[in-house]
Chains A and B, each alone.
Chain A
Amino acid sequence: MKKIYIVTLFLITNAHAATLTLSQGKVEFKAKGKPALISIDGRSTLLSGTLKGEKNQFDGEFDLELASLDTGIELRDDHLKNKYLEVEKFPKAKLTFQNIKIEKNNEVNFKAKLTLHGHEKDVSGTALLNDENMLNADFKINLADFGIEIPSFQGITVAKEVRIMVQGTVK
């Protein structure tokens, strides 16, 4: 009886569904422009989302307002948002996690679905939650997979593969 009580108590304790809210979220992307190998970086702090789950297994969604992306050059932002991402038609990007396993200070591989530019595709990368509850996720996408035309301007063409970094505090 005592054993059953302890096991039941253990299960109840660990069966609490936790809801983690993302705060101070930000997204950065890094792309290369060829042939001059320029580094094109963009960022936004309008990232929000929650993770729900038990133990270390979570489901959840992160949303990004694409109109808030900033690359540091106005004309480039204009082209990015209006010509390539078409943010009026597709204002948000959504990253959907299912059963992502998050352990503190343990980098894990994850798979998620990214909805961008009206297309949904599987993406995979790595995620790390540190002692300060800062979650860092890092993955790469191929622009063509999301129906995004390869950006090109005055002889500089962006490489197909773009690296995306997601960061935020989850509590």
Chain B
Amino acid sequence: MKRLILLLLLLPNLSHAYVENVTHGYVNCMACHISQSGGGVLSDYGRSLSKELMSTWKGWDGIEKPVLGLVSNTESLKLGGNFRSIQTHLKNDNISQGKAFVMQQNIEIAARYMDLWVVATAGVQGGPSETPTKNNFLSERHYISWDVNDEIKLRGGKFRRNYGLNDPTHTRLTKSPLGFGSNSETYQLEFSKFSETDELFIATDFGDINKPKATTTEKSFLFNYARYIEGKSKLGFNYLYGESGTTRRNLFGLYSIQKLPNDFYFKGEIDYQQNFSGDTKTNLIATTNTFGYQGFKGFLPYLVTEFLQRDLKKHNTRTDLAGIGVQWFPLAHFEFQFEFQKRNDRTTRKITSDVSWLMFHFFL
């Protein structure tokens, strides 16, 4: 069980947003995604961009359309979906193991009626063979979104909380340990507002109402404000107040995506959490920083560093890592990502692990 938990913590993400595109002028997610906070079904423009901007080779005419061009979207109906599989390897003094499995398989449909979008995914739970709900039906997202006007959107339903960087790797230490890992989508009401210079999200979250009542899922309030910098960079602040059973938390975060000279970019996030459980208060800090290079079309090498201290009073709650990785988008619809990390977990003693994974992703 311990191995499974560790493995799940090390897996990359099931969401689908590439925040580096901010540095190409796509300061918010809506050019490419139907979802205002990114991820999920692509707009027609997003599909074109996956071919024209993000892929090494262009392939054939129409390749960017659904199912490699076999199906066409219409103005009011967009098709999406994802298949992700992964090979992982973990080695330290206690364990040396490799695993290969399907992480995600689903389809997603977005239908438009006037200014309303209805979006839903249907698929099955992925994960290693030990995952208790593996192969069960899973709808990661289902929501209705109303474009009140060009600037304001309202959304209700199940989707990912828009906190911090919508980074494609949910195992980052600013994701899973803070409750934004795999299958963390919850039922929310969300208001969002966009202008040429900034964006604002305010949401109230009712938790995952599908889960049994005995299970305590967090209910929260979320505020996220980001400022665009010269149309190619972004700096954001967010706050979340959450309650779950007998615990509550305040979570503050800063995040940034910066275009750097010579095709380099930086994306980083730092979060500070106050967690209250009875009379016990625990302060946590987490940060993830990535330096990447976009000079080769569709081939993105990067360096990543991460740090997490779950209790600032206890040094033996620290995890830090340094990693090197590359994302490769050979053709529209196809993505490979490889990452190697040196990871230090300090519990009663320091455990140093070599972690690596190779992910394959095909989107419909």
Q: Is B338 an interface residue when CB atoms closer than 8 A count as contact? A: no
Q: Is B62 an interface residue when CB atoms closer than 8 A count as contact? A: no
- With A and B bound together, what is the CA distance between A166 and B232 in angstroms? 20
- Chain B contributes a number of interface residues (CB within 8 A of A) equal to 22
- With A and B bound together, what is the CA distance between A40 and B49 in angstroms? 13
Given contacts A36-B26, A72-B24, contact A156 B45 (CB under 8 A): yes
A34, A35, A40: which has the most chain B beta carbons within 10 Å? A35
Q: Is A38 an interface residue when CB atoms closer than 8 A count as contact? A: yes
Instruction: Determine which of B31, B44, B52, B195 lies in contact with A38 in the assembled complex, contact meaning CB atoms within 8 Å.
Output: B31
The answer to whether A38 touches B196, judged by C-beta atoms less than 8 angstroms apart, is no
CB-CB contacts of A30-63 with B at 8 A, as 1s and 0s? 1011111111110000000000000000000000
- With A and B bound together, what is the CA distance between A72 and B48 in angstroms? 14
Given contacts A38-B26, A39-B27, A75-B52, contact A155 B231 (CB under 8 A): no
Q: Which residues of chain B from 135 to 159 have any CB-CB distance to chain A below 8 Å in the complex?
A: 150
CB neighbours (8 Å) of B43 from chain A are 154-155
Distance of A150 from chain B, by nearest CB (Å): 15
The answer to whether A155 touches B45, judged by C-beta atoms less than 8 angstroms apart, is yes
Q: Is A73 an interface residue when CB atoms closer than 8 A count as contact? A: yes
- Chain A contributes a number of interface residues (CB within 8 A of B) equal to 20
Given contacts A30-B231, A156-B31, A156-B45, contact A37 B196 (CB under 8 A): yes
CB neighbours (8 Å) of A36 from chain B are 26, 28, 30-32, 45
Instruction: Determine which of B53, B194, B232 lies in contact with A37 in the assembled complex, contact meaning CB atoms within 8 Å.
Output: B194
- With A and B bound together, what is the CA distance between A73 and B43 in angstroms? 18
Residue pairs across A and B with CB atoms within 8 Å: the count is 51
Distance of B20 from chain A, by nearest CB (Å): 14
- With A and B bound together, what is the CA distance between A53 and B308 in angstroms? 65
Q: Quick one: closest A residue to B31, CB to CB?
A: A36
Given contacts A73-B53, A74-B52, contact A35 B30 (CB under 8 A): yes
The answer to whether B52 touches A73, judged by C-beta atoms less than 8 angstroms apart, is yes
CB neighbours (8 Å) of B24 from chain A are 72
CB neighbours (8 Å) of B179 from chain A are none
The answer to whether B25 touches A39, judged by C-beta atoms less than 8 angstroms apart, is yes
- With A and B bound together, what is the CA distance between A40 and B196 in angstroms? 12
Q: Which residues of chain B from 38 to 92 have any CB-CB distance to chain A below 8 Å in the complex?
A: 43-45, 47-49, 52-53
Q: Is A153 an interface residue when CB atoms closer than 8 A count as contact? A: yes
- With A and B bound together, what is the CA distance between A30 and B230 in angstroms? 10
- With A and B bound together, what is the CA distance between A41 and B230 in angstroms? 11
A32, A36, A75, A155: which has the most chain B beta carbons within 10 Å? A36
Q: Which residues of chain A from 69 to 112 have any CB-CB distance to chain B below 8 Å in the complex?
A: 72-76
Distance of B151 from chain A, by nearest CB (Å): 8
CB neighbours (8 Å) of B44 from chain A are 154-155
CB neighbours (8 Å) of A73 from chain B are 49, 52-53
The answer to whether A32 touches B196, judged by C-beta atoms less than 8 angstroms apart, is yes
Distance of B296 from chain A, by nearest CB (Å): 14
Q: Quick one: closest A residue to B230, CB to CB?
A: A39
Which residues of B are interface residues toward A (Cβ below 8 A)?
24-28, 30-32, 43-45, 47-49, 52-53, 150, 194-196, 231-232
Which residues of A are interface residues toward B (Cβ below 8 A)?
30, 32-41, 72-76, 153-156
Among all A-B residue pairs, the 5 with the closest Cβ atoms: A39-B231, A39-B25, A36-B31, A154-B45, A154-B44
What are 24 A-B residue pairs whose CB atoms fall within 8 Å in the complex?
A30-B231, A32-B196, A33-B31, A34-B150, A36-B26, A36-B28, A36-B31, A36-B45, A37-B28, A37-B196, A38-B25, A39-B231, A39-B232, A40-B25, A41-B25, A72-B24, A73-B49, A73-B53, A75-B48, A154-B44, A154-B45, A155-B44, A156-B31, A156-B45
* Supplied contacts A38-B25, A41-B25, 17 more A-B pairs, CB within 8 Å: A33-B31, A36-B26, A36-B32, A36-B45, A37-B195, A39-B231, A40-B25, A72-B24, A73-B53, A74-B52, A76-B52, A153-B45, A153-B48, A154-B47, A154-B48, A155-B43, A155-B45
